[in-house]
A and B are shown apart, each in its own frame.
Chain A
């Protein structure tokens, strides 16, 4: 889409208009920060020694 005559649109406004970028970020951020990180911690737990 060419907008040669319009003033440049702020990057944040363009980002807010980009549904697909928002979808990707909205799925990736929790997947990494919450799900993957959490599962990695659970997978790397040590076995109990039960002193």
Chain B
């Protein structure tokens, strides 16, 4: 009975199918435990958490400087900025927009810096469905290599007030 006190010396090794089940479960847990670090080194899509502290105003200045020197066009009133291949790109999140629109070349690797000017936001790229957290005061650096050309909407997926569902942006990847 689960509601009665067992007498002393109740500890016994499991036997029979119970033992087999625990053995199998343990084995599976060990496989899973090793799989995550293995894939961290072997896989191509990881979250390293690379980040630096930054003042929001300083980040905003750097974004503007990036836009001014890399602007290649405009869409819906938002500037499009294209960093040099292998260069640094900057994206600012604020209530309720992403700024600027980023343009990348397929197959090139970039360091994408994301931070927020006000409260917490989410960075979700559709439809490939990649999601990262964006915090004010933290320069979150993602090393990215686009593998497909096309236009990718960005969506905020962290609640950020009444306009949350309208907070969008865009990434353009050219051949």
A/B touching: CB–CB < 8 A: yes
A1-48 contacts to B, CB under 8 A, are 6-7, 9-10, 12-13, 16, 45-48
B26-56 contacts to A, CB under 8 A, are 51-54
Q: In the complex the two chains form, what is the Cα distance from A45 to B9 in whole Å?
A: 51
By secondary structure, the A interface counts as loop
Measured as residues with beta carbon below 8 angstroms from the partner, the interface class of chain B is 10 to 19
Total count of chain A residues near the partner, CB < 8 A:
14
Provide the residues of chain B in CB contact with A10, threshold 8 Å. Answer: 9, 11
Contact with A49, one of B8, B52, B90 (Cβ below 8 angstroms): B52
Provide the residues of chain A in CB contact with B90, threshold 8 Å. Answer: 50
CB distance B8 to A45 under 8 Å?
A: no
CB distance A9 to B8 under 8 Å?
A: yes
Given that A50-B59, A50-B62 are contacting pairs, would A13 and B9 also be in contact in the complex, using a CB cutoff of 8 Å? yes
B53-78 contacts to A, CB under 8 A, are 53-54, 58-59, 62
Write the residues of chain B forming the contact surface with A, with a CB cutoff of 8 angstroms: 8-11, 51-54, 58-59, 62, 88, 90, 113, 138-139
Closest 8 CB pairs of A and B: A48-B52, A48-B139, A48-B54, A13-B11, A50-B62, A10-B11, A45-B53, A47-B53
